[in-house]
Amino acid sequence: MNLFYQGADITDDVVIDSLTVGDHAWKKSDSLEAVFENAGKWYSWGPKKGDLISVTDNGYDSGAMYVSDIFPGDGKFRILASSIPFEARNRGFESFYKQTSGAILNRCAAESGMSAEAYGLSLGLPVTYITRENEGCAAFLARYLEMENAVLKCENGAYKAIGVLYAQERPAAKQIELYSSQRGFQYIREGARYKSVTVETPYASATAWDSDDDATETLILHSLPAMTNAEAGRWARGKLFALNLPSERVVLSSEFQPSFTAMERFDISGDTDAAGEWIVAGVRHEHRHYRMR
C-alpha cells in the first residue's frame, strides 16, 4: 500500500494505525479516514483542510480526496477526507432554462473547481426548466441525474455522470459464486416495489413501468418540472429505478478486492436468490486488515 499527501509518497514516513476508504455512488461521496501513530511528524508538515490525500493498493486507486477534518490527540493524528471539495458543498439557488444535460453538468463542475465527465449519458438531453433549490452543486447534480436514470460519482477531482443502463451493460468486473452454505453475505429483499411511476404536470405526462411480477405499488409525481412528454418519460423512468433500487440488495464481506468499485458490474452465480447481475453501490475498503465490505 502507498499513501500520498499533496502528491508526495509518504508511505515510509508514517505509521498507519488504520485506514478505511469508502467508495460510493448514489448521493454519497467517496471518503477516507486514516489514523496515524506519529502525530509529531504530522505537526511538522502543517496539514490543513483542503489538502489532497490518496491511497493505492495492488491496483486499487482511491483517487485524490480533499482533507475535511483533522483531529490530533493522544499521540495520534486522525484525518478525514472526501472526494468533493468545499466549493461543491456551498448552497445556492439557480435556474436553468432551455439548457442541456451537458451544460448543467459543466456549469456545476466549474463552480466546484472540478472537471466533468459523462459515461452512457447524452450531454445533449434537452432540459426545459429546472432549479437548484438551496443545494450544493454535488447534491443538486445527484438529484438531477437521478431523474435522468444516471448516477453522480465524485472521483479524483471530477463529477462523473454514469448512466445506469451503461453500467448494467458493461462486462462484469468480477464473477462470484455464492452458495447457501457460505458465510459472509446477505441477500436482502424488503419494502415496496413500484409497478409504475407517472410524472404529471399541467404541460406533460408519461408513465414508466416495471416488468417485475412482485412490483405492485403505483405513484404519481406532480413535483417534477417536466414541460414536455419526452422529459416526463425520461424522468419517470429515472424515478422508478431510484425508488425500486433499495428493495433488493446484496451485502458481501471478503478479503480485499481491488476490482470492487462503485458502479462496476459484478455477476453472481450459485444456488441462492442473489444469483444474477448486480451493480456495486458502495464499498468499504479496510486497508489495515485488507478487508472489504
SS3 of residue 240 by DSSP:
helix
Q: In the prediction, which pLDDT does 293 show?
A: 35
Q: What is the CATH number of domain 87-165?
A: 3.55.50.30
What is the reported pLDDT for 191? 83
HSE-up (13 A, CA, CB side) for residue 193: 13
Query: What angle separates helix 137-147 from helix 101-112, to the nearest 10 degrees?
Result: 160
How much is the pLDDT for 288? 59
CA 278-283-288 angle, 5° bins: 145
Quick check: 235 and 226 in contact, CB under 8 A?
yes
pTM to 2 decimal places: 0.89
Burial pattern 126-156, b for ≥16 Cβ within 10 A else e, equals ebbebebeebbbbbbbbbbbbbbbbbbbbbb
pLDDT along the chain (293 residues), means of 10: 88 86 87 84 79 88 91 84 90 96 97 95 96 95 96 93 94 89 86 93 96 89 96 97 90 80 91 92 73 36
- pLDDT tens for residues 68-80? 998 887 778 889 9
CA distance 75 to 64: 26
Note the helical H segments in 14-100. Answer: 39-45
Domain ranges of the chain: 2-84, 87-165, 167-189+248-292, 194-245
